[in-house]
Structure 1
Amino acid sequence: MGLWNISKRNFDIVKLKIALNNPLTRKYVSYVLEKTEDGKTRLDNILENYNKYNKRFGFLPLEIIRKGLRISKEDFSKQLKRPLIRRVILASFNSVNDYGLQIPQTFSVPLMLVWNITNKCNLKCIHCYQDAGILRKRKEKKEKELSLKEKLNVIDKIVDAGIPTLAFSGGEPLIDKDFWKVARKAKENDLYMSLNTNGTLLTKENVKKIKNLGFAYIGVSLDGASAKVHDKFRGINGMFDKTMEGIKNLIEEGLQDITCISYTWSKQNYEELPKMLKLRDKLGLRKVVVYNFIPCGRGNFSNDTTAEQREKGYEIMYNDSLKNPGKLLCTAPQFGRYCIERARKSKENATIVLSHFGTGRIKELGVLAEIIGGCGAGRAYIALQPNGDISPCVYTPSTVLGNIRKDSFLDVWKNSSLLKLMRDRENFEGNCGKCENNKICGGCRARAYVYTNNYNGADPGCIKNAELFCNLNKNFI
């Protein structure tokens, strides 16, 4: 989390919003985003030369930010050398320039691109949102995957757009014959890279390659703490042992601090949650990421957890986060709602959720939770499909906003009428629109879509929509 990790200041969101929406502030932001003779913006030059800071006007806002975050000049200077931090700062300035400070914030560029680089997979997972592998039903000609040349061109387009973070997913990325060349180019362009894998191909050789490429995050899919549970999910016996072998290879290579368990939480395995947390601690891994089950692809509606089951799970996650700060992440926006409600009832320094980016304590990160604001689909992140289709979320591959073969990320991001609609939480329907936690949660837009065929519909995965969940499931099961 970069600067967030070393900041311990409690911000006043109202004062921050007033300050950043001040005409003088907006004028300054516009000024530093202007390009100079060298083709770079003034902000680029300020960030590059911060260690030569001499109290000139252009540097003062960075000094205000640094002092507000209570970060030493030395630490701040080190952070600014990281391409990720600089890209995030540039994106933040552009966002304030384009939209002002919003709650939650719409960003001028996606902070993260999730790239399903291939539909190929060596497993037969019963809950696969991508319907990947040999069981895949959709095999039309229009699904032709990008060529190596086109994939390398995608990296250029990511860099040109100023997108800071690239997450490789699939399918199984390590099966793709072009993966290593594409990842190499991403590294050469200083992109912050993460890898989501089923773990069965994490051989010693592949793990060394991953380490050398500088991946910052590795998510390994594990849906149970035993072979009995996990292998049933994966559709092939022996995969639990294979995946555990891959995790051990990561640990032996010293990558445990960037390795996470990716656990999809469904009706069939929701009772495994405490065991997954214990397994995380036993292996010494970075965290458990509890993925929101979304009934799409091969995921069946009958496997969805009820709102009541989810609420019990949130309690387990919340208590774990209090004991082990930063060791758990849940992609369900409602976990943010649960945390806020717990915080209102207690005087403890409660856990708060930063959407898909992490968890922390409310006294330090409360303002960021409001700015980042729950589901980020179409507002903070976007997805790219194997054939080049651009979609709002990895869980909605059939919704095509454009294709990278002919469209740019920024054109789609700024001009898509659907994305503009998804960003307007005032128009959300049902309890998701009326809820007092609308800004910090907003519900999962993919779940709303697959259940109601409406991106602005209510997400039935919340206790406040329990009746809706029951009614809708009668139609699907």
Structure 2
Amino acid sequence: MLTYPLTLHFEVTDHCNNSCPHCYASSWIQSPAKRPAKRAKPNIIELARRIVDSDVFDVVITGGEPLILGIDRLSELFKFFNDNNVQYSLNTNGRLLSQATCKELKDAGLQSVLISLHSWVDELHNEIVNAPNAAGDTKNGIQNALNQGLRVAVNQVIDNRNIDTMYASSAELERMGVHQISFTRALSPMKVGYKVDTINAARFLDEFLKCKENLNVSVVSLLPIPFCADPRVKDLDVKLSCSGGISSAVLSCYGDVRFCPHDSHVWGNVFEEGFDTIWKRISEWREDLAAPAECDDCSFVVDCRGACRVASKLYSNDYTAMDPWARHSVKNYRRKVLYSEFDPDCSYRLSSDIRWRKENEAFLLYFGADHLLVNLDGVEFIRRLPQEFVPSELLSATEENREVHFQFLNVLYYNGLLVNKGKL
């Protein structure tokens, strides 16, 4: 159990210029009865300070629509995170991304942006976000962000209306030059008819695989897909299980903490009690949250943990129910090896994007979106590594703990912490 999350979705506003039925933040627009009581919003930097004090590594700045805050307030937030060595990115619908805005965002320190475009067909996208002319604005925003040199990923939330446009839309986005294309199966707390139900899981995977196999761009799923949803899933490099409450959480513009962006339950408020207390409560609940009983004899239960717990809650009103895409347990199956073997005679260097955090009696190494816990001896060994080295030569100089160190280097390589430079 971690003392704090590694990544945090920071909802800097609950206002938006779209009205998407799949978005919890805008649910009160669709259903006035769900509208929260009017509350005073804390200063955005006060909330950011609590994030920094919690040693969070990575922040996703989202909303609502975060650009509604304005460039000045976002620039102030970027500077605060820059000064405190917190990595951040921006999630936006892209409608307010003019050329000038993109330049100001980049000048303020922004490097990466995730933009939502649910279909290349304008009428379909506009229908999904409940906003006329939204598609044109978003496409312009994508192009403007690319023109300014930002790293652009585009997400498509998939429901029964746009599931057949996944590949065609993605092909257009590839031609634009986006860096990554992601998909999220729609989870709507309000309109059941908009959910992608179990009969469409195969159609989703048909389009998803077509994109992965035919497009020269990274293609990912932002929500976990159960191993048993389809025989093809087991050998795909896709998100396996939910990180909510395990290594990630959500902080709203009011200070409310949730375990997942798609879930409405509030576990506490950082202005009423410590973030560490709230996170401990969430983590203990997640640790005790068992996978569905139907998954007990599955070969992948440890990795999958029943996939998306919020999907289960929305469809069955039970966090421990089967994911609606789950079909049956998978037994006696060995997953294909998706990485190259560690060669002790190659030259390696340590990845440059590793960050550290003290975690109870160990140290946590954070890199990309992954992490690894190591003890003090492991940290000292890593710190002594040369800038570039050949493992067989490095370890031949000492007899002490040679096999242990070799296995540790193997673990570092398997987890992506060592970069293979090839044979010398």
| TM-score (normalizing by structure 1) | 0.63
Equivalent residues of 2:12, 2:62 under 8 A apart: yes
Distance 2:228 2:110 in 1: 31
- The answer for the alignment partner of 1:295 in structure 2 is 188
- Asked if 1:408 corresponds to 2:274, the answer is yes
Distance in 2 between the 1:385 and 1:147 partners? 10
Q: Structure 1 residues 285, 335: CA separation in 2 closer, same or farther (over 3 Å shift)?
A: farther
In structure 2, what is the Cα distance between the partners aligned to 1:277 and 1:327?
11
Separation (CA, whole Å) in 2 of partners of 1:315 and 1:220: 23
The partner residue of 2:257 within 364, 386, 390 is 390
Unmatched 5+ residue regions in structure 2?
330-424
CA distance in 1 between counterparts of 2:246 and 2:286 reads 8
Cα distance change on mapping 1:136 and 1:120 into 2, 3 Å: farther
Q: Which residue of 1 aligns with 2:347?
A: none
Task: Tell me the number of residue pairs that the alignment of Structure 1 and Structure 2 aligns.
Answer: 325
Query: Out of 32, 35, 46, which is 1:153 matched to?
Result: 46
One of 203, 214, 219 as aligned partner of 1:312: 203
Aligned to 1:429: 292
From 178, 192, 196, the counterpart of 2:91: 196
Deviation at 1:206, TM superposition (A): 1.5
The 2-side partners of 1:435 and 1:242 are apart by 46
2:177 corresponds, among 271, 281, 284, to: 284
Q: 1:235 maps to which residue?
A: 130
Give RMSD over aligned pairs: 2.5
- Equivalent pair of 1:202/1:246 in contact (CA under 8 Å): yes
Matches within 5 A, 1:181-192: 181-192=76-87
Query: What is the CA-CA distance between 1:267 and the residue it aligns to?
Result: 1.0
Residue identity matched to 1:159: V
Query: In the aligned structure 1, how far is the partner of 2:121 from the partner of 2:325?
Result: 27
TM superposition shift of 1:295: 1.9
Matched, 1:352 2:237: yes
Structure 2 residue matching 1:267: 3-state secondary structure: coil
1:248 alignment counterpart: 143
Shift in alpha-carbon separation, 1:324–1:225, aligned structure 2, 3 A: closer
Identity of aligned residues (%): 22
Deviation at 1:461, TM superposition (A): 2.8
Aligned to 1:458: 322
State the Cα deviation string for residues 28-74 of structure 1 (Å, max 9, x = none). xxxxxxxxxxxxxxxxxxxxxxxxxxxxxxxxxxxxxxxxxxxxxxx
Identify if the C-alpha distance between structure 1 residues 146 and 187 changes in structure 2 by more than 3 Å, giving closer, same or farther.
farther
Alignment correspondent of 2:110: 215
Maintained 8 Å contact 1:280/1:287:
no
AA at the equivalent of 1:183 = F
Q: Which structure features the higher share of helix residues?
A: 1
Paired with 1:217 and 1:328, the residues of 2 have a C-alpha distance of: 16
Structure 1: gaps of 5 or more residues: 1-105, 345-349, 356-372, 466-477
Q: Determine which structure has the larger strand proportion and give its number.
A: 2
Q: What residue is the counterpart of 2:303 in the other structure?
A: 440
1:105-154 Cα offsets, whole Å, 9 max, x none, are x544312100121111112223322225855624443x525322xx2122
Q: TM-score, normalised by structure 2?
A: 0.70
SS in 2 for 1:440: helix
Residues in 1 aligned to 2:12 and 2:92: alpha-carbon distance in whole angstroms:
12
